[in-house]
Every structure is written in structure tokens, then in C-alpha cells.
Amino acid sequence: MLESTYLRCKEQQHKPKEEIKNELIALYDMFSYEQVSKKIAQLLTPPGLEAEVQIIYQTIEGLHDACPGHRGDWYFSGKYPTPGGNRVVNTAFINFIENKDVRAYV
């Protein structure tokens, strides 16, 4: 799944931003809010720490309630409100796969 997503992102790199599709939505859909929160907590827990670390984010539903009428979700859904956001998320994924430590936007 990662390789095919990467290839789809690469195919769109040079398109005008209005034509770019967010290729990461399928990856977001594979995991629940709880799974993502648990993984982030695992990644951020220092080795040897005996306390349980929890990362708690507002749910997508809570975000919609807090920001009625807004067009995007950003985190955990991949639904960015602008074409530029789609370009940035695809570029960030390409950078991750290619192990590049650079910004996805300029």
C-alpha cells in the first residue's frame, strides 16, 4: 500500500495544484482515531519510562462541532480544505518515503 501510494503521489508532483488529488486518504482510512493516538503515544514515550503515555486529540466529530462550516479536517482524515494542502501532504509523504529531511512546502 505504501509503495502504490508513493507512486501515485510522484505521478502528481508536477500537476497544477488544482488537479492534485490527496493520495493519502486511503492510508488514513486504514486506521481508527484510537489506533493513531496509541501509535503516536508509543512513538513519543521515552525508553524506560514506566508511566503510561496517552496522546489525546479531539475527534473529527468534535472538530466539526467546534468549527462548524469549515471545509477540512486536516489530521486523521486527510481531508484538506485547499488544493495546496493536497500538494503538501503528498510531498510530505514522498519526502518520508525518500528519507528526505526537508519541508513539504515553500
Q: How many domains does the chain have?
A: 1
Helices (H) and strands (E) in the chain, counts: 5, 0
Evaluate whether residue 28 is within a structural domain.
yes
Evaluate whether residue 60 is within a structural domain.
yes
Does 21 score more than 70 pLDDT?
Answer: yes
Write out the three cell numbers for 8.
Answer: 501515485
Evaluate whether residue 24 is within a structural domain.
yes
Write out the three cell numbers for 55.
Answer: 496522546
Evaluate whether residue 106 is within a structural domain.
no
List, in sequence order, the alpha helices (H) in the chain. 2-12, 25-28, 33-44, 60-66, 83-97
Domain residue limits at 24: 2-97
Evaluate whether residue 105 is within a structural domain.
no
Residue 57: predicted pLDDT: 77
What pTM does this model have? 0.75
Evaluate whether residue 32 is within a structural domain.
yes
**pLDDT tens, position by position, 31-87:** 888 898 899 899 999 999 999 999 887 788 888 888 887 767 766 677 777 888 899
- In 3D space, the residue among 101, 99, 100, 73 whose CA is nearest the CA of residue 86 turns out to be 73
Does 9 score more than 90 pLDDT?
Answer: yes
- In 3D space, the residue among 102, 64, 80 whose CA is nearest the CA of residue 17 turns out to be 80
Evaluate whether residue 84 is within a structural domain.
yes
